[in-house]
Amino acid sequence: MNTLRRAAHVTLSVAAIAVATACSAGGTTAPAASVTGAAGTTTQAPATQAQGVEAAALAPRAASKTARKTGKPKLGIADITPMGEKVERVGVGFPIIVTFDRAVRNKAAAEAVLQVQAQKPVEGAWRWVSDRKVIYRTKTYWKPHQKVLFTARLSQIPGNEAAKDVSRRFAVGTANISVVDTKRHVMKVRRDGKLAKTIPISAGRGGLKRNGVDVYLTTTGVHLAMGKKRVETMTSSWLGVTDPKDPLYYKLEIPWAVRISDSGEYVHQSAGDYQFLGKSNQSHGCVRATPAGAQWFYGISQRGDVITVTGTKRKLDWRNGWSYWQLSWNQWKRGSALPAGSASASASASPSASPTPDQDAPQGQDALQG
């Protein structure tokens, strides 16, 4: 079930995607995930950062401890997504999305001061998706149950010495990895590698083409959970149908909705039609589940959890929401502004000093940015 309107604040345009998918919330952005405070203490973590930048013009100048910081910062950060360890736990597929407060002229210099430190390091790299937004993705999924520290040493960018360095620590939770098989009509959910639940589902039925794309099909590919809502309002306005007298009109309050794309796909409780679950595909593009299965899935879901959909002819576009795992690792690295060979942020020793997590860091303004 779907609506036409997408979140106006989402700056990563999905205009290149031919048409909207069939399941979206009425005029609202996907909500933030329910939050769980991170437990335990943080150990000193090895760093992952871009290295080997040979061109001096691209590398930031080391800021002297006695350097005078005068004038106004020329570049700051408007938003960091996800939120910090005290607000939410994230899934093993989560991206780090950094939105600057203005267009970045020297992307290489800005990227070179962005640092990611993990207790259990994996290779990662940044990719620019606009003049203001850069996204960090790992080569393989993050290892679960750890802390990851992001630091932006903005004062080390030439000409930006007056800026404040910012950081944020993330808490990675359980590795929730789900596979939706649209041909067998089942979703299998594994938690930390063990099969936790098999849920009968009904996916997109197909049959409605717009600009050559069947918008009633669920998109095949690697989705990430972007947010969830206890009850989501879904309407037919995405079809251009707003007249209650129209046979295609609907407006439904749908429980246990976990959003997995910008074009409006959710995993949610089926609004009736339970006889089709596990047997056939009947939705407008969402993944419908049993009441008990949908509520359980909602309860465990974290932003950044992996939901892979298989079996349909409609491919998920990597720009649709947080679908960055649709790109191969080599494709992803091509979006870095650093020279070849230094774009990959490999594990390295932790710096001797780091800003206090979340010190001077802007709070996440939105659950769905990116």
CA–CA gap between residue 26 and residue 36 (Å, rounded): 27
- Strand extents, DSSP E, 284-357: 287-289, 306-310, 344-348
Contact 268, 257 (CB under 8 A): yes
Choose, from 185, 223, 268, 284, the residue flagged as catalytic: 268
Phi-psi region of 302 (alpha: psi -120 to 50; beta: other; left: phi over 0): beta
Choose, from 23, 223, 284, 286, the residue flagged as catalytic: 286
Q: Which of 279, 276, 234, 273 is nearest to 255 (CA)?
A: 234
Dihedral pair phi/psi, residue 326, rounded to 5°? -70, -25
Contact 16, 84 (CB under 8 A): no
Structure tokens at 31: 């909500």
Measuring CA to CA, how many Å separate 331 from each of 277, 306, 326, 337?
37, 20, 10, 13
Alpha helices in 197-338 (DSSP H): 291-300, 329-333
SS3 79: strand
| 286 catalytically annotated | yes
| 268 catalytically annotated | yes
SS3 113: coil
Residue 49: beta bridge partners? 115, 346
CA–CA gap between residue 95 and residue 342 (Å, rounded): 20
CA–CA gap between residue 28 and residue 10 (Å, rounded): 11
Catalytic residue positions? Answer: 268, 286
